[in-house]
Structure 1
């Protein structure tokens, strides 16, 4: 069966799909909780390296950003770019969606990291380097732009219409990602290295939508799920010091877990109205949650609150709810919608679409 035959039904669906929005909600919870906890014992709520919070944050490092990228590829698979003449307009919309927020929020987070005490990952870059080498978590925006630029162009040639070709592309890109140094700064120019990392997962999402992973035979889903659990078990053994730890997401075990784990999550067809409501605001939550978390943490600590449990619960709750509130306010005015990457003429009541 051809890609076109298999993807007609999904392409006709409404903008929202509760299963995809549910997974977007899961991705948001994983991302926000990570930034509440912090990347190390001196950031975030300052948990010890042997705490359950650190274990939780490190356990899902192989799924957090890959899940966002798989879902982006999945949604693209519903509405792919086919006409070569439409490429410029398509990328213009992606520039608005991804690059305008990048140009706004990277300087904002850079200033916050330079001024706010105890900021997560205070930057060592000079201000003129912020947009060139990016700041966390906004590298994802420009990297995703490059992913769209390349894969959409390839897709207009019809080169991704054969499942065997797409699987080969996933394997080859994944292996190249493993080989290319992850920490070499020269590769992080305009987040091109990160785009390579995300491409594997974007292609995975595209394949899942285009070739109807939801209707795959049960034995394939079971095999993927079991393999994902085995790889997750290996990373757990590494976290507990039984075997060498998988330190980077782009090591071969981390990449394989990202691909298979996301496919396994898609197989579950999870439906949660609460998570879906969060997921409907995933793009906006991604943009503003870091500022909300930092503000809540600063207020609580100034008030004398040092309980890790309270700091975590408040940071997670306000990181989600507070971000949604800010999004709703921003979307009431044209400039606010613009910095969120939406059309300035777009009705404020319309739900925010994910990246």
Structure 2
């Protein structure tokens, strides 16, 4: 006879608006970043020193670390203690199928449009995806490796105590700091991304497993104070007062990102508009570039030049288009599989939330 579910397990079975809100926030940050552009040659070609550039540079510590932290957190709700092969088959389908389908489509569009999308590619077809990850799809490859790692750890019950989990977390941080600079340009199956994101994934898993939100208030408040202090220091770096601490593999950057994720989790912040966006987080992650870039090209060609108008239109398209596509996928098992990586079974006209790849 199985034991009664714990309070933590019972909470896992219900939608957590705070997690959905955090997902929505992560989506907004990512969409904003790609709409504005990583530098002045991309996206809206915003100059350095502008307000929009300051915002994108300021949020680098939270964008992908938060996505990764949430992936680990959601995984810990249903950890893979057994059936490693089945677990990885599902992750391969969920992550790799959309990556190959949408990533290839994205590359073909860039080849056709050329300079209209700011940075046309001349990458040999055989290098697409595995040898050289395609744009933001690198995250899916890194996430697959991270899932494989934690599934092995959980299969052998190697992180079931706070002490063992802490050891894994410290090792992950040390590995990222030491190895990161040496693999920064190693793109093969997103090696650089895996090393970068490893600490945040483990942090998310253990924050859920050991109920971070149930820790003493003094601990959570102290974490928030430290997060604010580190953000203040990072801002001094962004504006050039002190050397920038936001090198992705530096200990200071990892601490800033990790503590910020924990502090955000501690707030238990929920806001239904963001939570609504969070329900579509995976679809938005996969397809937002089609909306942002497509709308920018279209409206620029009809004479719209105002940066802020294009920003609003681009973000609306980047959020709205994936939602519409996800809804359409509910009517086709083929689309559900190819676009969202979901299983073939299930009713055609009712698509569960694409949610998160975890």
- TM-score, scaled relative to structure 1: 0.93
1:69 Cα deviation (Å)?
A: 0.8
Contact 1:143 1:192 in 2 (8 A): yes
Equivalent runs, 1:166-315 vs 2, <5 Å:
166-182=165-181, 184=183, 187-315=186-314
How far does the alpha carbon of each residue in 1:181-220 deviate from its partner, in whole angstroms, 9 at most, with x for none? 4474763211123112222111111111110111111111
2:97 aligned with 1:95:
no
How far does the alpha carbon of each residue in 1:93-139 deviate from its partner, in whole angstroms, 9 at most, with x for none? 11111111111122222223333234255445322212122012000
- Tell me what 2:351 maps to: 349
Output the CA distance in 2 between the equivalents of 1:178 and 1:68.
Answer: 20
Output the CA distance in 1 between the equivalents of 2:111 and 2:219.
Answer: 49
How far does the alpha carbon of each residue in 1:330-351 deviate from its partner, in whole angstroms, 9 at most, with x for none? 2321111012111122333322
- Tell me what 1:105 maps to: 102
Equivalent runs, 1:313-352 vs 2, <5 Å:
313-339=312-338, 340-347=340-347, 348-352=350-354
Contact 1:22 1:276 in 2 (8 A): yes
Q: 1:54 to 1:26 in 2, by over 3 A?
A: same
How far does the alpha carbon of each residue in 1:7-32 deviate from its partner, in whole angstroms, 9 at most, with x for none? 65235533532111110000000000
Output the CA distance in 2 between the equivalents of 1:247 and 1:269.
Answer: 26
Output the CA distance in 2 between the equivalents of 1:15 and 1:306.
Answer: 45
Output the CA distance in 2 between the equivalents of 1:6 and 1:236.
Answer: 44
Contact 2:237 2:243 in 1 (8 A): yes
Q: 1:149 to 1:55 in 2, by over 3 A?
A: same
| Number of residue pairs matched by the alignment | 350
How far does the alpha carbon of each residue in 1:46-77 deviate from its partner, in whole angstroms, 9 at most, with x for none? 11111110011111111111111111111111
Q: CA RMSD in A?
A: 2.0
1:283 Cα deviation (Å)?
A: 0.5
SS at match of 1:196: helix
SS at match of 2:135: coil
2:149 aligned with 1:147:
no
Output the CA distance in 2 between the equivalents of 1:33 and 1:189.
Answer: 27
2:162 aligned with 1:163:
yes
Output the CA distance in 1 between the equivalents of 2:112 and 2:231.
Answer: 38
SS at match of 2:117: coil
Output the CA distance in 1 between the equivalents of 2:296 and 2:112.
Answer: 15
Output the CA distance in 1 between the equivalents of 2:157 and 2:273.
Answer: 38
Q: 1:164 to 1:7 in 2, by over 3 A?
A: farther
Equivalent of residue 129 in structure 2, options 122, 128, 131 = 131
My pick for the range that moved more, 35-44 or 10-19, is 10-19
SS at match of 2:304: coil
SS at match of 1:16: coil
Task: Return 5+ residue gaps in structure 2 as ranges.
Answer: none
Contact 1:41 1:47 in 2 (8 A): yes
Contact 1:110 1:127 in 2 (8 A): no
Q: 1:161 to 1:21 in 2, by over 3 A?
A: same
SS at match of 1:159: coil
Output the CA distance in 1 between the equivalents of 2:175 and 2:6.
Answer: 29
